[in-house]
Structure 1
Amino acid sequence: MHRLIALEFPHLLQLYGCWIVAAVVALEGMGLPLPGEATLVGAAIYAGSTGQLGIGPVILAAFLGAVVGDNTGFWIGRGIGLRLALRYGRRIHFTERRIKLGQYLFWRHGAKVVFFARFVVLLRAIGAFLAGMNRMPWRRFLVFNMGGGAAWATFYGLAAYAAGNEFERLSGPIGAVTTVLAAAVLVAGLLFLRRHEQSLADEAERRLPGPIQPG
């Protein structure tokens, strides 16, 4: 959390309670560069050290913020992202065939991406948008989004509540490790995709025949 935000955060919690947690987490899920995880951790530490907030409401607020924000991001991706990709994608070699390949990969692996996106800095902001853009079925998205949001809010909330400032110190390295692991998985996936793009694209065409409809 930036120093200024950290200084003002207890005051914001006193004024708005768990609403500030829900709001920041939700806005991050919509794609805005806000510290959703740091807000959850800070609120949980505040709850544990002052007793002025219950850890249950803090976790619930983070969970609801994650679900609302991510679902908003999903529908933005569904409504705008695909249209933009179809209209301008060719300028960056993102052809319709590759768009269809992305939809196919989300059909096969989107559940894992959506669930674990909550634990990775960049994916927290864009994962839902990508799921919507790649036409992941909404009900399937909702199930794994809620599961990931519940696991994330509960783990970080309870750990910060129990360990206090010590966990805040460790949360940075934990986030860095998860980001590095996610980056390693992404690189490995991109290398695999580059080697097998032709066969996977053919498989995607068989699974999703015909032109892509943006609506």
Structure 2
Amino acid sequence: MHAVDQWLQTIPSVWVYVIVAGVVGLESLGIPLPGEIVLVSSALLAAKGVVDPLVVGICASAGAVVGDSIGYLIGRKGGQSLFDRLGRRFPKHFGPAHIAKAGEMFHRWGMWAVFIGRFVALLRILAGPLAGALRMPYWRFAVANVLGGVLWAGGTTAAVYYLGIVADKWMKNLSWAGLGAAVVFGVCTMIWMKRKAAKAVAAENDAAAEVIGA
């Protein structure tokens, strides 16, 4: 994200708004792009006074809602054959396992899968096209799409913006010793979380092996 942040600082602010709306919109449409990274980087720039946080939030919200709506129309027209073609072209994002998992969430949650999908990386790309392919009524899709898009884009922008301001003030008053302690704490926390995740995966694999053996 640091590289994205540096690049965004080199271009006029109006283009930052355009890029935020465009990248978030294309990701919502179904193209695997780093929409969340661009949004977070732009919100951090807003915390530095480079761009306006309100405009960033509005552009991201518009991109999310419009992109998801176009994705819905594409999915409604293309149907399952669309995902078959995308699966062959982008197996890491549209493989059968991804589509099956997303489809399961849609069958379980209905229209709220569109809302929840805005906050989940996998569903953020699939929500619009999959809702269209599954023939979800457009009015239900639109309600969840607008609510999810505005809350995700506006909430992310606001949270990162205010955290950026606090972090900037904190870093100015932080001694090198305090910075070192913070880094060590972060590394230790990351290692602990990775070990916990590895243990969880191992436990699931053991359970799966027992089921297969039975």
Q: TM-score, normalised by structure 1?
A: 0.63
Gaps of 5+ in 2: 85-95, 169-185, 198-214
Deviation at 1:12, TM superposition (A): 3.6
Which amino acid is the alignment partner of residue 140 of structure 2? R
Larger Rg computed on CA atoms = 2
Q: Is 1:7 equivalent to 2:6 in the alignment?
A: yes
Deviation at 1:48, TM superposition (A): 1.4
Contact 1:13 1:43 in 2 (8 A): no
Aligned to 2:52: 54
Once the two structures are superposed, the pairs formed by residues 183-202 of structure 1 within 5 Å of their partners are: none
Which amino acid is the alignment partner of residue 44 of structure 1? A
Partner deviation per Cα, 1:116-139 (whole Å, 9 max, x = no partner):
111001111111111010000111
Contact 2:8 2:16 in 1 (8 A): no
Rounded Cα–Cα distance in structure 1 between residues aligned with 2:83 and 2:26: 23
Q: Is 1:75 equivalent to 2:73 in the alignment?
A: yes
Rounded Cα–Cα distance in structure 2 between residues aligned with 1:163 and 1:126: 29
Matched residue pairs, number? Answer: 157
Once the two structures are superposed, the pairs formed by residues 125-164 of structure 1 within 5 Å of their partners are: 125-164=125-164
Partner deviation per Cα, 1:146-188 (whole Å, 9 max, x = no partner):
0001110121100111011859xx9xx9xx9xxx9xxxxxxxx
Contact 2:18 2:59 in 1 (8 A): yes
Partner deviation per Cα, 1:95-116 (whole Å, 9 max, x = no partner):
xxxx9xx69x857732110001
Q: Secondary structure at the match of 1:160?
A: helix
Aligned to 1:21: 20
Aligned to 1:44: 43
Q: Secondary structure at the match of 1:64?
A: helix
Once the two structures are superposed, the pairs formed by residues 97-116 of structure 1 within 5 Å of their partners are: 106=106, 109-116=109-116
Name the Cα RMSD after superposition: 3.3
- Percent identity for Structure 1 against Structure 2: 39
Q: TM-score, normalised by structure 2?
A: 0.63
Deviation at 1:35, TM superposition (A): 1.0
Cα pair distance change 1:64/1:44, threshold 3 Å: same
Aligned to 1:192: none
Deviation at 1:78, TM superposition (A): 0.4
User: Which of 1 and 2 has higher RCO (CA within 8 Å, sep 6+)?
Assistant: 1
Gaps of 5+ in 1: 87-93, 181-215
Stretches (4+) displaced over 4 A: 83-86, 105-108
